């Protein structure tokens, strides 16, 4: 038992040392400092104390929203604001090269909100979809609109921290009141009307599409279909590993704790019997 306890203590110490050395990643506040057009988001990250959890991740991507575009959410309650912002922190590294190199499909990105354990119906994930060479983002919740578009890269420290600009904040269902893109939207893919267009005639579509390809007119439809077909699969695979890993860590530390407390009880009993004598 004594051996078991010291082993547990040893592993606890090891974990502590391990994690304290892990907390060396980039400082998001400093990374943001030179981008005056993003000062509001920087302030909000500080105000909601999200800079602390963010600093604990070695690989992270922040979807940044400009001062102008972020105004619809700045007056939300602190809790709502924090939850919304957590949905803009991706627990993986995505820079310009990765978004550019992405295939025409949908992927699910895990965000910091997922780590709260409060995620519901995939609202801790973002749906990132590439369509016609452009990258769009929306909540991972089913049938959520892809409201935001990738604009440009702001900062990157390869494989550790990346900050990219998106066109507007993403508010997942259940976190706060939804925001929709302004009246003249950039050009979000419109899955609903596409079958009709494809069926009617390739003619009436604007030049834009002729340009893209004249061979595959119904391009829209298959693209989204394949995305639908193969996207649910990749989602759980990558993320399940993380979740599983977290679970394992959870159970092992619990086992360790249980072992420890058992030892403590034994020790107390021992002292108790000494005192009794």
Ligand X SMILES: *[C@@H]1O[C@H](CO)[C@@H](O)[C@H](O)[C@H]1NC(C)=O
What residues between 139 and 158 interact with ligand X by CB under 6 A?
A: 146
Among candidates 141, 78, 84, which has minimal Cα distance to 112? 84
What residues between 160 and 189 interact with ligand X by CB under 6 A?
A: 160
Strand, helix or coil at 76? coil
Distance, CA of 138 to CA of 159 (rounded, Å): 23
Which span (24-32, 78-86, 174-182, 194-202) binds ligand X, by CB under 6 A? 24-32
Number of residues located near ligand X, criterion CB under 6 A: 30
Distance, CA of 31 to CA of 12 (rounded, Å): 33
Which span (12-20, 67-75, 78-86, 112-120) binds ligand X, by CB under 6 A? 67-75
**Which letter does DSSP use for residue 151 in this model?**
E
Element (H, E) at 244: helix 234-276
Instruction: Output the CA–CA distances (angstroms, integers) from residue 134 to 44, 151, 193, 199, in the order listed.
Output: 28, 9, 19, 25
Crossing angle (nearest 10°) for helices 67-74 and 39-47: 40
Strand, helix or coil at 47? helix
**Which letter does DSSP use for residue 219 in this model?**
G
Which span (5-13, 95-103, 226-234, 248-256) binds ligand X, by CB under 6 A? 226-234
Give Dmax (Cα) for the chain. Answer: 99
Counting every residue written for the chain, the total comes to 277
Exactly one of 29, 48, 115, 221 binds ligand X (CB under 6 A); that residue is 29
Q: How far is the CB of 91 from ligand X (least distance, A)?
A: 12
59 interacts with ligand X by CB under 6 A? yes
Q: Which residues pair with 137 in a beta bridge?
A: 128, 148
Binding-residue pattern over the window 185 to 224 for ligand X, x denoting contact by CB under 6 A: ------x---------------x---x------------x
Q: How far is the CB of 101 from ligand X (least distance, A)?
A: 19
> What is the sign of the dihedral through the CA atoms of 81, 42, 111 and 252?
negative
Exactly one of 17, 74, 97, 187 binds ligand X (CB under 6 A); that residue is 74
Nearer to ligand X, 59 or 259 (CB): 59
What residues between 99 and 128 interact with ligand X by CB under 6 A?
A: 106, 108, 127
Exactly one of 4, 6, 13, 27 binds ligand X (CB under 6 A); that residue is 27
Q: How far is the CB of 112 from ligand X (least distance, A)?
A: 15
Nearer to ligand X, 38 or 83 (CB): 38
240 interacts with ligand X by CB under 6 A? no
- DSSP track, 103-171: -SSEEEEEBGGGGGT---TTTTEEEEEEETTEEEEEESSTT----EEEEEEEEEETTTEEEEEESS---
Which positions touch ligand X (CB under 6 A)?
24-25, 27, 29-30, 37, 51, 55, 58-59, 68, 71, 74-75, 106, 108, 127, 129, 146, 159-160, 191, 207, 211, 224, 227-228, 231-232, 235
């Amino acid at each position: 038992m004594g051996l078991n306890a010291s082993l547990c203590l040893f592993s606890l110490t090891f974990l502590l040392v391990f994690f304290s050395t892990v907390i060396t990643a980039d400082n998001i506040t400093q990374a943001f400092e030179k981008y005056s057009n993003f000062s509001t988001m920087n302030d909000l990250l500080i105000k909601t104390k999200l800079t602390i959890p963010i600093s604990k991740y070695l690989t992270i991507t922040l979807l940044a929203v400009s001062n102008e575009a972020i105004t619809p959410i700045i007056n939300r309650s602190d809790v709502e604001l924090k939850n919304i912002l957590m949905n803009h922190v991706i627990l993986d590294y995505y820079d310009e090269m990765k978004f550019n190199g992405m295939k025409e499909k949908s992927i699910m990105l895990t965000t910091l909100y997922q780590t709260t354990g409060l995620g519901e119906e995939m609202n801790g994930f973002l749906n990132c979809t590439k369509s016609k060479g452009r990258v769009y983002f929306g909540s991972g919740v089913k049938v959520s609109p892809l409201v935001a578009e990738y604009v440009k890269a702001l900062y990157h420290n390869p494989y550790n921290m990346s900050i990219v600009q998106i066109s507007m904040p993403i508010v997942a269902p259940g976190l706060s009141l939804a925001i929709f893109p302004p009246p003249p939207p950039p050009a979000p893919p419109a899955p609903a009307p596409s079958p009709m267009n494809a069926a009617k005639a390739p003619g009436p579509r604007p030049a834009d599409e002729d340009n893209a390809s004249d061979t595959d007119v119904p391009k829209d439809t298959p693209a989204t279909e394949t995305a639908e077909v193969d996207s649910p699969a990749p989602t759980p695979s990558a993320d399940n590993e993380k979740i599983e890993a977290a679970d394992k860590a959870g159970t092992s530390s619990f086992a360790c704790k249980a072992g420890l407390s058992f030892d403590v009880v034994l020790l107390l009993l021992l002292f108790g019997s000494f005192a009794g004598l």
